[in-house]
Amino acid sequence: EMFQPIFDKPGMRPSTNYTRPTQINVSLTIHEILGVNEKTHFLITFVWVKLLWFNEFLVWDPVDFDGMERIALPVEFLWRPDFYFYEFIGPGHMGEDASPHVPYLYVNHNGVVTYVVPSKLVTSCHLDVFYFPFDTHTCTLTIGPYLSIVNDITMGHHSTPQELFLKSLEHIKESGEWELTDFDSELLSFLYQEIVNPDEWAMMIYTVKIRRRPTHYLVNLLIPSALLMLIEILSFFLPAHSTDRSIFKVTVLLGYTVFLLFVNDILPNNSGGTPLIGGYFLVCLVLMIVDLLESILISRIMHRSSFGTVRVSSWLRL
Ligand SMILES: *[C@@H]1O[C@H](CO)[C@@H](O)[C@H](O)[C@H]1NC(C)=O
Ligand SMILES: *[C@@H]1O[C@H](CO)[C@@H](O)[C@H](O)[C@H]1NC(C)=O
């Protein structure tokens, strides 16, 4: 009853003095790294954003309210900051689409409002796949108010980066393809250079470092390729004067070509260039072809020398 006038005006920033900005303390934890898209350069994560601020009108003494210290209220009743992610490019904006809707927020008797928003985020991130499958990437998640300048909204840390890193590690399942290796946050402000009146926005930059777990790719790419190369080399033990050897080598080469067709689908390729491992496969293929040519040459020489028409010099025989 007493707070009804405040609930009627959820558009008003809860400050008793409008020249004083409202400080929003933020903490972001990563709950899952859902994947990356190397072609279009984006990162998909599921994050929890916790926002805390002070609502100067919602202060009460618990003694007067049967010891009630905090209360859950529908989000529509109260003012909320207009936060968004700067790198955001896909569905999963705070409280929309793919993200679960959070209908309530908590208000403490001292006026501290706690609002936790889980979001599935698709954010842009430059991905360099040169070292695939041993690649690491550094992405940023920048959160800040969309419209409100620093005179209205300032930001602060709710937890230290170290705490957030440990919390995120707890949540991320061990089995995913991506591993979180580092997490950092930095408070900055963004100055929009306009001659008349430069405006400044507060923002918090979270730096996320992820590393790919290479096991899957080792088993599916490197080991088959290495085995085919091994067979190719061992085929030199086949008798050279029969044509079997060349035929065998052609068969292995065919097998390798089919393997490369599958690899093409797995290898990430983007404007940033093809990965180094693609070059390795190409070198293997070239070696196999050289090998085949050599076998043809050898059988040709042996064939001629067996008729005794040509004297094979000792260095060539070697
Ligand atoms: C509002 O805050 C500013 C500075 O924080 C102060 O100078 C001003 O006197 C305050 N106004 C009122 C009405 O308290
Ligand atoms: C936000 O953090 C600052 C210190 O970093 C602290 O003084 C303030 O009380 C915090 N505000 C809320 C609402 O938790």
Same domain, 201 and 254: no
Question: Residue 293 belongs to what domain range?
Answer: 216-317
Same domain, 66 and 194: yes
Same domain, 74 and 101: yes
Whether 259 and 288 have beta carbons less than 8 Å apart is answered as no
Please say which residue of 213, 232, 266 terminates a domain: 213
pLDDT of residue 194: 64
Ligand 1 proximity of 16 Cβ (cutoff 6 Å): no
pLDDT of residue 226: 92
pLDDT of residue 168: 93
Pairing of strands 153-157, 22-37: parallel
Least confident of 15-19, 202-206, 271-275: 271-275
Ligand 2 proximity of 156 Cβ (cutoff 6 Å): yes
Residue 95: pLDDT band (50, 70, 90) is very low
Query: Is residue 137 pLDDT above 90, yes or no?
Result: yes
pLDDT of residue 286: 95
Same domain, 21 and 147: yes
Ligand 2 proximity of 112 Cβ (cutoff 6 Å): yes
Same domain, 61 and 182: yes
pLDDT of residue 274: 81
Ligand 2 proximity of 243 Cβ (cutoff 6 Å): no
Whether 87 and 124 have beta carbons less than 8 Å apart is answered as yes
Ligand 2 proximity of 111 Cβ (cutoff 6 Å): no
Q: Which whole number is the average pLDDT over 261-267? A: 86
Query: Domain with 294 in it: what CATH number?
Result: 1.20.58
Same domain, 68 and 154: yes
Tell me the best of 13, 20, 24, 25 to mutate to test the pocket of ligand 2, counting ligand atoms within 8 Å of each CB and taking the most: 25
Q: Which whole number is the average pLDDT over 198-214? A: 90
> Which DSSP letter does residue 56 get?
T
Q: Is 64 exposed, middle or buried (0-12, 13-18, 19+ CB in 10 A)?
A: exposed
Least confident of 43-52, 84-93, 122-131, 257-266: 84-93
Give the number of the ligand closest to the Cα of residue 115: 2
Ligand 2 proximity of 53 Cβ (cutoff 6 Å): yes
Q: How many domains does the chain have?
A: 2
Q: Is 89 exposed, middle or buried (0-12, 13-18, 19+ CB in 10 A)?
A: middle
Give the number of the ligand closest to the Cα of residue 158: 2
Ligand 1 proximity of 271 Cβ (cutoff 6 Å): no
Taking only the tens place, the pLDDT of each residue in 27-82 is 999 999 988 888 888 899 999 999 999 998 888 898 988 888 989 999 988 999 98
More confident of the two residues 242 and 134 = 134
Same domain, 161 and 54: yes
Ligand 2 proximity of 116 Cβ (cutoff 6 Å): no
Same domain, 208 and 243: no
Using the Cα atoms of residue 71, residue 31, residue 165 and residue 270 in order, give the sign of their dihedral. Answer: negative
Please say which residue of 174, 193, 213 terminates a domain: 213
Q: What is the mean pLDDT of the chain?
A: 86
Query: Domain with 80 in it: what CATH number?
Result: 2.70.170.10
Compute, in angstroms, the gap from residue 25 CA to the centroid of ligand 2: 6
Query: Is residue 108 pLDDT above 90, yes or no?
Result: yes
Same domain, 81 and 64: yes
- For residues 203-212, one letter each, b for 16 or more C-beta atoms within 10 angstroms of the residue's C-beta and e for the rest, the string is bbbbebebeb
Query: Is residue 120 pLDDT above 90, yes or no?
Result: no
pLDDT of residue 92: 43
Q: Kindly report the protein residue whose alpha carbon is nearest to atom 10 of ligand 1.
A: 17
Q: Which of 17-21, 24-28, 176-180 has the highest mean pLDDT?
A: 24-28
Taking only the tens place, the pLDDT of each residue in 147-175 is 888 889 999 999 999 999 999 999 887 77
Share of the chain above pLDDT 70, in %: 90
Give the number of the ligand closest to the Cα of residue 81: 2
pLDDT of residue 115: 94
Ligand 1 proximity of 19 Cβ (cutoff 6 Å): yes
Atom of ligand 2 nearest to the CA of 112: 13
Between the alpha carbon of residue 113 and those of residues 80, 147, 246, the distances in Å are 9, 21, 77
pLDDT of residue 48: 93
Same domain, 87 and 233: no
Please say which residue of 163, 186, 213 terminates a domain: 213
Same domain, 257 and 177: no
More confident of the two residues 269 and 30 = 30
Same domain, 241 and 291: yes
Q: Which whole number is the average pLDDT over 117-143? A: 90
More confident of the two residues 39 and 196 = 39
Residue 93: pLDDT band (50, 70, 90) is very low
